Amino acid sequence: MGYYDKQEIQILRRKTGPPEFEPVCWRGSMTCIFCHIIARQLPTEIIYENADLVVFKDINPQAPVHLLIVPKKHIESINALDEKTAGIFSKMVLAAKAMAERHGVQSGYRLMINNGREAGQVVYHLHMHFLGGWGKRPVKG
Ligand code: 5GP
Ligand code: ZN
């Protein structure tokens, strides 16, 4: 999961029109789903964007507010970060803070990064899960 082959990409392009730019992360015949979202080649609503990252809703939400904070640069995971690229981490945290304000969930939210297969990482493009909004759920009874 998380990677498309060339045939699937052709089908997506027919649906979404010509790409704004080519994905940068071909690995053999496979490419990365989040790079396609960033390149606007998949019909995903980007709810926040700056020079370094994008934010969109998780397709399979595990909380009332479940966002993905995703660097534009293709970095596979924390394991691939180095002194030069690790600065993206503070930018991701600041984006999380901005999202908490925007969604009115400053009272409680969780930030999570799955790193590696054993931790449940399925998309190998670094991303931070933003989970919150439990207080917004209607109280039963
Ligand atoms: P991971 O397990 O790698 O940390 O999380 C990947 C997340 O990406 C999952 O929560 C999954 O629901 C989400 N996801 C996978 N494919 C798509 C997609 O095409 N669109 C969106 N919005 N989210 C996706
Ligand atoms: Zn990517």
| 72 and 108 belong to one structural domain | yes
Could you report the per-residue pLDDT of 71-130, keeping only the tens digit for each?
Answer: 999 999 999 999 999 999 999 999 999 999 999 999 999 999 999 989 999 999 999 999
User: What spacing in Å lies between the alpha carbon of 97 and ligand 1's midpoint?
Assistant: 21
Cα 22 to middle of ligand 2, angstroms: 12
Q: 140 in a domain, yes or no?
A: no
64 with 21, same domain: the answer is no
State the Cα–Cα distance between residues 105 and 107, nearest whole angstrom: 5
Atom index in ligand 1 nearest the CA of residue 57 equals: 22
Same domain? 80 vs 93: yes
Residue 125's CB: how many other CB atoms inside 10 A? 24
59 and 125 housed in the same domain:
yes
Mean of the per-residue pLDDT values of the chain: 85
Pocket test for ligand 1, best of 16, 32, 48, 60 (most atoms within 8 A of CB): 60
Q: Specify whether 58 is located in the same domain as 125.
A: yes
Ligand nearest to the CA of 59: 1
**pLDDT tens digits along 34-43:** 998 998 888 8
Listed in sequence order, the residues at least 6 apart from 121 whose beta carbon sits closer than 8 Å to its beta carbon are 77, 114, 115
- What distance in Å separates the CA atoms of residue 124 and residue 134, rounded to the nearest whole number? 28
Q: Does 57 map to a domain?
A: yes
Query: Do 4 and 54 fall within a single domain?
Result: no
Same domain? 11 vs 53: no
Closest by CA to 96, choosing from 51, 55, 40, is: 55
Q: Evaluate whether residue 38 is within a structural domain.
A: yes
The yes-or-no verdict on residue 3 having pLDDT over 50 is yes
Residue 120 alpha carbon to ligand 1 centre in Å = 11
Question: What is the enclosing helix (H) or strand (E) of 75?
Answer: none
CA proximity to 34, closest of 62, 58, 60: 58
127 is catalytic: yes
